[in-house]
Amino acid sequence: MKRILATAAAVLCLFVLSACQKPAAVTVIVPSGSPALAQIYIQSDPDYDVDVVNGADPLVAAFGSGSHDVIFAPTNLGAKMIASGSAYVFAGTVVWGNYYLVTTGKTSFSFSDLAGQTIYAFGPNQTSDIILRHLLTSLDIAADLVFPPDPTVATLAAMFAVDPSLIVMTAEPSLSTIQAAVAGVQVIDLQNVYELVSGTSAYPQAGVFLRADLDPTIAARFLSDLAASVAAVNDDPVGAAADAVDLGFGFTETVMMAAIPGSHLDFVSAADSRVAIEAYFTIIMGINAALIGGTLPNDAFYYQP
């Protein structure tokens, strides 16, 4: 009887320990830059395991392998990967446009002044390229777009540091870094130009995608935490900048604090983003439909709680 009781007690202890074990952290992958700023307080939460990466290749790999529960990515990239069979759904927009052109020493530097100029850009066939080409075409401005061998924001920032007379495309927080390091930087805010062309200053640049089989309770908590993170970052850029430095974002507090307002962070659910997504994707289809998978996404693209 003692042996039976001891065995039962051991089984009970194992059951209790198992029941009390903390569930595995939700895995998240996010590109550096403004999307990473949006999730500062997600990354600070031990319930989430966040990988911050550079460039689109790790995001493509994540969509293909299903390695992460949550993927932050350009909205068109997510649409293209889902159209090709990736088992994710679009859950909302977090970045509403943060592209800029910079130079120095020009007598005049407005969008119309770009005619006949060389513009060094990043992200060929990505959102940055799409937006810039769309604006140039819409306003009938002929400019020469050049992509360096490693066409990233960091590469262009390094080029600009060497020769600030170049016209270079950038994004936050790189813009704030450039302005802190170079005197007399002239800036064209492409969101203002987009508003001139389309009537709205915001476009759904980057969003968040959930694995299609993610537990609804986990998904709901993540989206609630993300909305709270974005709100906290916008409400207190000083505190968010300090936290970003602690997390190793690679920029100074001053730069991070300046970058937050220009990042245009706002979490908008999939349902409430749909009109903007379809308008933006219609623009992309006019340039190259393959960049979103060939057609406008159907209902299955959008997360439905």
What average pLDDT is seen over the chain?
A: 91
Q: Contact at 8 Å (CB) between 229 and 40?
A: yes
pLDDT at 2 over 80: no
Q: What are the boundaries of each domain within the chain?
A: 26-96+203-301, 99-198
This model's pTM is above 0.95: no
- How far, CA to CA in Å, does 48 sit from each of 20, 26, 64, 92, 222? 18, 5, 21, 18, 9
Tokens of 273: 């983003």
CB neighbour list of residue 38: distance below 8 Å, 6 or more residues apart:
72, 94, 95, 226, 229, 230, 233, 263, 265, 267
The domains spanning 26-96+203-301 and 99-198 adopt the same CATH topology: yes
User: pLDDT tens-digit profile of 206-228?
Assistant: 999 999 999 999 999 999 999 99
| pLDDT tier at 5, thresholds 50, 70, 90 | very low
Written as six digits, the tokens of 113 are 């002044």
Residue 19 has pLDDT above 50, yes or no: no
Q: Which CATH class, in words, describes the domain spanning 26-96+203-301?
A: alpha beta
Specify the CATH number for 99-198; select among 3.90.226.10, 1.25.40.10, 3.40.50.300, 3.40.190.10.
3.40.190.10
